[in-house]
């Protein structure tokens, strides 16, 4: 992926994050809606982080390093998801 395409993708994902945050959590939502909203935001965060790692740090040229960073990132986002969902249970 070229840097220009990565930049455009990051702009689109940032816009989606802002729209998602604005419209997904009105004041009267339940725990299930909050959980879905948190999961959606973490998925967008994961996509943005993978784009940055692959394009800007050029990890797309080294698949082994990209897998290691992807695994660490995935484990970290699972930890964040668990911490987010813990009070909602």
The domain limits of the chain are 3-88
Distances (CA, A) of 38 to 3, 13, 63, 79, 88: 29, 15, 29, 13, 11
Span 45-69, pLDDT tens digits: 899 999 998 998 888 899 899 999 9
In the structure encoding, which two tokens stand for residue 18, read together?
């802002």
pLDDT over 70 at 26, yes or no = no
pLDDT tens per residue across span 67-89: 999 899 999 999 998 888 887 77
């Amino acid at each position: 992926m070229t840097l220009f395409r990565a930049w455009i993708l990051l702009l689109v994902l940032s816009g989606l994050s802002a729209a998602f945050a604005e419209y997904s959590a009105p004041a009267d939502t339940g725990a299930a809606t909050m959980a879905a909203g948190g999961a959606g935001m973490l998925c967008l965060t994961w996509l943005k982080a993978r784009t940055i790692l692959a394009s800007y740090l050029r990890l797309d040229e080294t698949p082994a390093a990209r897998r290691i960073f992807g695994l660490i990132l995935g484990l970290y986002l699972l930890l964040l998801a668990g911490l987010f969902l813990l009070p909602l249970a």
